[in-house]
Amino acid sequence: MWPPIVSCRGRGAFLLSSLLICIFFFGCALHKGQPTTLAIRSDTSKSISTVLLSTNSARRALLRNAEVTSGIVNALPENVKIYIMVNDKDAFVIGNNPWPDRIEFVEIEFEKSITMWPQDPFLVLKDENQTVLLASMNFERASDELMAQKIAEVTGYKLRKSDLLFEGGNIVSDDTSVFIGANTIRQNARHYQMSDVEIALAFEEELGKRVLVVGPLPQPVAHIDMMMTPIGENRLVVADAAAGASIVEKLLESEPQVVKDFEKHCEEYFYGHPAITEVLGRDGTMLRPPDLNGAAQKMISKSKELAPLLDKIAESLETYGYEIHRMPFLHGGPTSEGGENMPQVSSPSFPMLTYNNVLQEHSQSSQRVYVPTYGLSALDRAAINVWEDLGFETEPISGFEISAMYGGALRCAVKVLH
Amino acid sequence: MNKIRTQISTLVFILCLLLSPLSRASAFDLIELDLEITLNQPQFSFSFDQLNQPKTGFTLFNPEEASLQLASAFLPSLGLLPEEDIQQGFVLYDGTLYLEVAANDSQSGRATLRTTYRMSVDGRQLERAFLRNLFVRQGRYDDARARVRARAARLADARVMRFVEDENGGGRWVRAVRALSTDARANIRFMPRMEPDGVLGHYGYNVDVDGNAFVWAVVDKNSRYAVGLNVDDDNDGVFNRDDNCRNSSNPDQMDTDVDGLGNECDSDDDGDGVEDELDNCPLIENAAQDDVDGDGAGDVCDLDDDNDGVLDNVDACPVTFTGSVVDAQGCSVDDRCPCDNSSGWKNHGSYVRCVAKASEALLEVGLLTTAEKDALVSQAAQSKCGHR
């Protein structure tokens, strides 16, 4: 059972519907100001010291990410400790490892499948004295639910199972607030036959910070960390689909071959190499990469449709006192099914080109952001410029175009533990 | 998640190439094995043509038709692990071919497995700048030394190395030289331009009509193999191909007689027909072996031919009689006053006066005593020199 819920009736208006965008603020008295108890780790913390990645092999999964793993390891500072979770270590060889003490492999049984998204199955709570891994009550994506347990065994961090259902990618936070996608609230509300308000309050109690629920329902982007990023000091970066569409549209007019080459590249490298044009599925069917010819134009149109929603979200957040900055974004990723339920991945398609799905470090003298890039230079460059204009040192990490076809990027692939 | 299965009978191979060469010498590189298949045929060939590497691949011979699980990888960049060491001078030329075979049936063996590896050579890698950068990245040489090695690198020096594991889980790279017909190890010589003939340990290189270059090797069982240039047998910093003494260290490559054989290993450095051990000037041609002063140093290389203590370059009298006292110009009394004066003495008195003057000069600088000077003058007076 979850902890007692503090009633906050009358403290805030609550409307969640598919028509109205609402940012719901639960500012219960118990949690005003800086959290003093165990609280979810902030995305705007000072520095990253320990992270978890996970790596697939072709013997287990369609999406390969050994190269992306290498890229992340090499981009992060050398003093960052890295755990790499694998379930098929024999499928890899380490070509070079200049930091044998820094990188540690955590093996999961071969029979268990894992994805490359350790962001989602659990959250990291911290106070001055301890780190606690908070696992979702249930997590039914491959065997990812084992991730928290395995990493807790290796690190010695405490592990606790929450009474709530969540995915880490649909939750972002800064030092004072935690932003949760509306899908997560509604999913729990349905599970427990309770109101959205009560669920939001439960999250507040669980995560130790005031909660802002980001709608609408269903979410236009499956995880909010693909479309919004707190950057501290009451600032938020929100995806701008109109800007992204405009950049790619201009590119399509001025250099159509560049876009065509990008589409072709994503198709050819879908299974890791152009020579692999099909693979045999478990059920005996032959699987082929999605046809992306002309997909960029479709994504431009979809992005233009999405743009007003994202603009509304940005406006709503502004009314809560946040300083909003916009980031180019091009819609893509797998098609989602289900309305208010958690989106079910159907099939990958044109990559979701998001530059919000980042890692950050904030020190007294500087701010650094690790940004995923995809190989569409005009858009990559525009996004890097925005981050730099915000005063960040930027560290681009390339190779995310295939994972973005499945709807995931950098933050999805890295769980910051400390 | 879907499980991936591969079948030999179809053309569905799972290939994944880590195409990103290491951009930094100290970069983490996690590589997924490229090819995994189940083999139960007597022979299987695979080519990495898709990697733009014509003739890079392997053929596996499995005469027992055992059921084998195969995994292979082609590592286009550095294939060595940090803790591994190789013979100094060996350079990974094109990457590493990794082959691992596991028997599905415990009765199956690997003893009869033979593999022919073919590894193409990217022409770009013969470029000096590319090789120099490769050597620097390997961390073995500084930039200056790397340039020297890069200039000397040649395809014909290709070798095949095999990684041999030790009891402690480590290992080292050795030459793949095991012979087929005997368990004894033998140094099998490098044989260029021969096609693979199934004999273990043979290796060579070919350049086909299209200009594609590749090296090949017939090796055994499963292991990690690297094809590279073992180019400096004597570790003197000069590749074999350009080393005029391959088995003797001679960094300066001195070859006095320019006969292609460096002095260090040439028995007649100056090519004058006299063996160095007997040559009184081994580095300068002097077939006649002239040695005026008989000091063992031939005149052509003796800096003081007459051994009078005054070097030839300032010796006004370079062929002074041995043992004579000479002045600062290297001239003795006899040099100054030769009895056989080709221009002739005016008379005997002129001769004696010359001797007196010359010996007086030597007396004044302390090279002669008064008695010695008197003796010389007296000798001159009693001689017939200058008489007509």
Answer whether residue B18 is part of any domain: no
Answer whether residue B274 is part of any domain: no
Q: Would you call A279 and B14 a contact, using CB atoms and an 8 Å cutoff?
A: yes
| Nearest-CA distance A313 → chain B (Å) | 35
Share of chain A above pLDDT 90, in %: 66
| B interface test, pick of A93, A269, A279 with most B CB neighbours within 10 Å | A93
| Nearest-CA distance A262 → chain B (Å) | 17
Touching check for B191 and chain A: CB below 8 Å?
A: no
Task: For residue A300, count other CB atoms closer than 10 A to its CB.
Answer: 21
- Rounded mean pLDDT of B227-231? 55
Residue B181, domain CATH: 2.60.220
Touching check for B102 and chain A: CB below 8 Å?
A: no
List Cβ neighbours of B384 (8 Å cut-off, separation of 6 or more): B348
> What is residue B6's predicted lDDT score, i.e. its pLDDT?
34
Chain A residues within 8 A of B11 when measuring between CB atoms: none
Say if residue B83's pLDDT is above 90.
no
The more confident residue out of B388 and A15 is B388
CA distance A152 to B301: 81
Q: Would you call A274 and B13 a contact, using CB atoms and an 8 Å cutoff?
A: no
Chain A residues at the B interface, defined by Cβ less than 8 Å, are 55, 57-62, 64, 66-67, 69-70, 73-74, 84, 90-100, 103, 113, 115, 142, 271-276, 278-283, 287
Q: Would you call B15 and A272 a contact, using CB atoms and an 8 Å cutoff?
A: yes
Touching check for B9 and chain A: CB below 8 Å?
A: no
Which of the residues in chain A have pLDDT under 70? 1-36, 58-62, 90, 93, 95, 273-286, 335-346
Closest chain A residue to B78, measured at CA: A95
A342 DSSP β-pair partners: none
Q: Which tokens hold the place of B288?
A: 């006649």
Closest chain A residue to B3, measured at CA: A282
Q: Would you call A287 and B5 a contact, using CB atoms and an 8 Å cutoff?
A: no
Closest chain A residue to B49, measured at CA: A275
CA distance B175 to B187: 9
Q: How far is CA A85 from CA A113, B29, B214, in A?
A: 11, 16, 38
Is the Cβ–Cβ distance between B162 and B224 less than 8 Å?
yes
Chain A residues within 8 A of B33 when measuring between CB atoms: 91-93
Chain A residues within 8 A of B77 when measuring between CB atoms: 95
Of the candidates A94, A113, A279, the beta carbon closest to that of B12 is on: A279
Domain A23-28+35-416 is classified in which CATH homologous superfamily? L-arginine/glycine Amidinotransferase; Chain A (3.75.10.10)
Say if residue B162's pLDDT is above 90.
no
Q: Minimum mean pLDDT among A143-157, B139-153, B310-324: which range? A: B139-153
Closest chain B residue to A56, measured at CA: B32
Interface predicted TM-score (ipTM) over 0.95: no
| SS3 letters across chain A | CCCCCCCCCCCCCCCCCCCCCCEEEECCHHHCCCCCCCEECCCCCCCCCEEEEEECCCCCCCCCCHHHHHHHHHHCCCCCEEEEEECCHHHEEEEECCCCCCEEEEECCCCCCCCCCCCCCEEEEECCCCEEEEECCCCCCCCCCHHHHHHHHHHCCEEEECCCCCCHHHEEECCCEEEEEHHHHHHHHHHHCCCHHHHHHHHHHHHCCEEEEECCCCCCCCCHHHCEEEEECCEEEEEEHHHHHHHHHHHHHHCHHHHHHHHHHHHHCCCCCCCCCCEECCCCCEECCCCCCCHHHHHHHHHHHHHHHHHHHHHHHHHCCCEEEEEECECCCCCEECCCCCCEECCCCCCCECCCCCEEEECCCCEEEEEECCCCHHHHHHHHHHHHHCCEEEEEECCCHHHHHCCCCHHHHCEECC
> What is residue B314's predicted lDDT score, i.e. its pLDDT?
86
Q: Would you call B78 and A96 a contact, using CB atoms and an 8 Å cutoff?
A: yes
What is the interface size between A and B, counted as CB pairs within 8 Å? 128
The more confident residue out of A381 and B9 is A381
Q: Would you call B31 and A66 a contact, using CB atoms and an 8 Å cutoff?
A: yes
Q: Which tokens hold the place of A330?
A: 């091009």
Phi-psi domain of A292 (left: phi exceeds 0; alpha: psi -120 through 50; beta: other) = alpha
CA distance A248 to B361: 102
| SS3 letters across chain B | CCCCECCCCCCCCCCCCCCCCCCCCCCCEEEECCEEEEECCCEEEEECHHHCCCCCEEEEECCCCCCEEEEEEEECCCCCCCCCCCCCCEEEEEEEEEEEEEECCCCCCCCCCEEEEEEEECHHHHCHHHHHHHHHHCCCCCHHHHHHHHHHCCHHHEEEEEEEECCCCCEEEEECCECCCCCCECCCCCCCCCCCCCCCCCEEEEECCCCCEEEEEEEECCEEEEEEEECCCCCCCCCHHHCCCCCCCCCCCCCCCCCCCCHHHCCCCCCCCCCCCCCCCCCCCCCCCCCCCCCCCCCCCCCCCCCCCCCCCCCCCCCCCCCCCCCCCCCCHHHHCCCCCCCCCCCHHHHHHHHHHHHHHHHHCCCCCHHHHHHHHHHHHHCCCCCC
| Nearest-CA distance A121 → chain B (Å) | 17
Answer whether residue B147 is part of any domain: yes
Chain A residues within 8 A of B81 when measuring between CB atoms: 94-97
Is the Cβ–Cβ distance between B149 and B242 less than 8 Å?
no
Its sign, for the CA torsion A396, A397, A401, A405, is negative
Q: Would you call A73 and B30 a contact, using CB atoms and an 8 Å cutoff?
A: yes
CA distance A163 to A19: 30
CA distance A309 to A331: 13
Chain A residues within 8 A of B26 when measuring between CB atoms: 98
Q: Would you call A276 and B16 a contact, using CB atoms and an 8 Å cutoff?
A: yes
Nearest to A279 by CA among B275, B11, B167, B299: B11
Touching check for B11 and chain A: CB below 8 Å?
A: no
> What is residue B342's predicted lDDT score, i.e. its pLDDT?
66
pLDDT range class, residue B21, cuts 50, 70, 90: very low
Distance of CA B384 to the CA centre of its chain: 66
> What is residue A271's predicted lDDT score, i.e. its pLDDT?
74
| B interface test, pick of A96, A102, A114, A273 with most B CB neighbours within 10 Å | A96
Answer whether residue B56 is part of any domain: yes
Number of domains forming the structure of chain B: 1
Its sign, for the CA torsion B228, B82, B78, B36, is positive
Its sign, for the CA torsion B142, B144, B150, B153, is negative
> What is residue B4's predicted lDDT score, i.e. its pLDDT?
32
- Rounded mean pLDDT of B340-354? 83
Is the Cβ–Cβ distance between A120 and A133 less than 8 Å?
no
Look up the domain containing B119 and give its range: 35-231
Q: What is the pTM of this model?
A: 0.59
Report the amino acid identity of residue A242. Answer: A
Answer whether residue B380 is part of any domain: no
Which range in B75-89, B181-195, B297-311 is most confidently predicted, on average pLDDT?
B297-311
Say if residue B337's pLDDT is above 70.
yes
> What is residue B185's predicted lDDT score, i.e. its pLDDT?
41
- Rounded mean pLDDT of B266-289? 89
CA distance B312 to B304: 5
Closest chain A residue to B14, measured at CA: A276
Answer whether residue B160 is part of any domain: yes
pLDDT range class, residue B46, cuts 50, 70, 90: confident
- Rounded mean pLDDT of B260-283? 89
> What is residue B61's predicted lDDT score, i.e. its pLDDT?
75
Say if residue B257's pLDDT is above 50.
yes
Touching check for B33 and chain A: CB below 8 Å?
A: yes
> What is residue B41's predicted lDDT score, i.e. its pLDDT?
74
Q: A295-304, pLDDT tens digit by residue?
A: 999 999 999 9
CA dihedral B160, B166, B170, B172 (to 10 degrees): -30
pLDDT range class, residue B381, cuts 50, 70, 90: very high
Its sign, for the CA torsion B346, B347, B352, B353, is negative
A116 DSSP β-pair partners: none
The more confident residue out of B306 and B118 is B306
Q: How far is CA A249 from CA A241, A299, A305, A332, in A?
A: 12, 10, 14, 15
Touching check for B36 and chain A: CB below 8 Å?
A: yes
Nearest to A54 by CA among A73, A40, A36, A76: A73
Of the candidates B14, B29, B71, the beta carbon closest to that of A95 is on: B29
Residue A108: burial class (beta carbons within 10 Å; 0-12, 13-18, 19+): buried
Q: Which tokens hold the place of A86?
A: 């694998």
pLDDT range class, residue B126, cuts 50, 70, 90: low
| Nearest-CA distance A71 → chain B (Å) | 8
Is the Cβ–Cβ distance between A1 and A164 less than 8 Å?
no
Say if residue B24's pLDDT is above 70.
no
Q: Would you call B2 and A287 a contact, using CB atoms and an 8 Å cutoff?
A: yes
Q: Would you call A100 and B82 a contact, using CB atoms and an 8 Å cutoff?
A: yes
> What is residue A60's predicted lDDT score, i.e. its pLDDT?
62
Answer whether residue B185 is part of any domain: yes
> What is residue A65's predicted lDDT score, i.e. its pLDDT?
83
Place of tokens 């073919």: B118
